[in-house]
Structure 1
């Protein structure tokens, strides 16, 4: 019992400091994870927009009036030698994750 009474201010200070460091570590991890997700989403948006621009250029060059995915798919079926080769959302997502990892996350 005597040992329990000898808790000093330095012990309490070290305990509070340890809890604060654990909390700070969690916050840094959470912010890093949030930034990683934001970077991946931004890459996905950029790559999806780039593909949409390529599809629009394809529609303009091939006189497709209503530039929807269905009309482009119909064009691809009729003209397989001159088809638009777009990427799926899964491929775009994989490319975005890979480019984000190469960036340093």
Structure 2
């Protein structure tokens, strides 16, 4: 097991707040568990089974052979080329009736869009 490369660790008064930017997992550790986490960072996982389980669940600790960056690239490419989403562009006509507040504010005389090329 190894620590994820997407972990952000913040220490405050002996406590730790750990967030994994890839999974969104967040873990707040009291000083006792913060010391266990520091030992895990150094490779010592003795007497930390409960903490290790939570670190794995939050994506903070991952399998040694896992390629996290490769997974993100794959997800990005799959989303980019997937045909499961609909992209829609709205092009109003010259007689726009969206009633936008800036067009219909008091004192504005614009009831249609101006023709500009």
TM-score of the aligned structures, taking structure 2 as reference length: 0.30
Q: RCO greater where, 1 or 2, for CA within 8 Å and sep 6 or more?
A: 1
Q: Which is higher, the Rg of structure 1 or of structure 2?
A: 1
**Larger strand percent:** 2
**Larger helix percent:** 1
TM-score of the aligned structures, taking structure 1 as reference length: 0.33
